[in-house]
Structure 1
Amino acid sequence: MTDTDYQPIGRIKGHPRVRRPKLPRTRTQLSAGRGKIAAGGLVEWHDMSPSERAANWAKLCNWVTWLYDRYELSVESRLPDCWAEHPGMIEELWALMVWRFEIYGSELPAGQAARYWHTELRVVTANAASYYASNCRTGHRKEYAKAADDQDLQKRWNEADPTLGIPKEMLPTENAALAGAPGTMAAEAMRAALASGAASVLSPAIPEYVRHEGAWWLDAGEDTWVLVTDAAFAEKLDASAAAMEAATAATQRRRAAKGLFGDARADHDRDARN
């Protein structure tokens, strides 16, 4: 192949379909009105963005209201009214809720799994009064009351803080919801890598693709870079980068040769004039 065999390379066509990595908190959003939860499992309260925490806290309070009335948990204070003010109880009920949704929302719901869930419900309610809220019981039998009809109780539950006991530095801000997710990189970190030479753009004309730590990254907007996981497209980027490097080297050789011959011709002209 000669230097003239290299063809100008334009912008890469056929961008891959890049899917943003789904955060655990996104996978656990409850579907409105149906009381179900998407597949993907639990998410920690401190891994949720502020808006997700608010939405999931309302869902949990609504679900506990249903649980409280359906299973008559006001009897003997099986579930203390102050559950929302005990961090441990928040975690127990959150896990219990997600587990139930997984069982009853499965394509093949199993009666045995439901029986296990009810056994665990009795364990949780037994521990609620004896372990989490041992000093909160009134000491007398309260008549059966529905949480849904108790406006003061509803207000008390919904105004409680679901992040009790979680250090504030562990709570992400709304704008940092995507930062740190697997397969993503904050724009600020990528800029630092480019400035230090640890990363390089595909070309000055195509800055949206960057090679960093042996992999290609795509500028996905919103101050976030996303890892290119499409192997075929990554190979295409590798080939384009190699072709661009070869074209650059060929151009440099031509310029060097032109400079050398130019100097020789200038010397010849001077000799002729003399």
Structure 2
Amino acid sequence: MTAGDRPDGAPEKVPNAWLWHRMDRDRAAALWVELAEWVQWLRATYQFTQGHFPACWYRHTAVREELTALMAAHKAAYADDAGPDAYRSDMTAWHTHEFWPLMNRLKSIGNFADCTAEQCHYKPRVVVTVPGLEEYIADDLEDRPERAETSTPPQAVEAADDGVPAQDMEAAITAGLAELVDPQKPYGPARFEDRIWIYDRRAKRYLPQPDSSTDPS
């Protein structure tokens, strides 16, 4: 689906590639293979025992989430975008700030107490919510103010002496209806509707230039 396929014309939001609860079947299948291979490498490389890193890690949802994040961080730390021979510190940072802290808290978050090398005894708890959540949210929203109206991008600009309010021109630039002559100057001259507009700081408005065919120096 493209932006043109949506009724509101907005671009389709693509779920984050690491969110297990929002993955489709193909993405989940690919990630399971990737994660299982990586965790096997991790356990073998660092020689973790059953007592510290149980073999049934994949049945423990919190552990799976943590290991997925750890794997993604590991791939980022060892990425070769800086060059395969580049000296870097993020590999050490991954061990110090991400890997070992997770290993040290793994047992506490995994609920591995009754698990053995032969059998997993983990039983996920049903997380309940006290009745009344929907009503509480409705009451909370009722007490909040509505969103303030924002200025909409102008679709046309008359060559009026009073110009265009700064917020309208900014909205037009954001919407792609106008562009800065020099992107490095946020309040520099802007090109809009085949004209050049200059920002007047005192009036806080963009004023049209009489000769639109000549860019300002």
Name the TM-score class by shorter chain: 0.3 to 0.5
* TM-score, normalisation: structure 1: 0.36
Higher relative contact order by CA 8 Å / sep ≥ 6: 1 or 2? 1
Larger Rg: 1
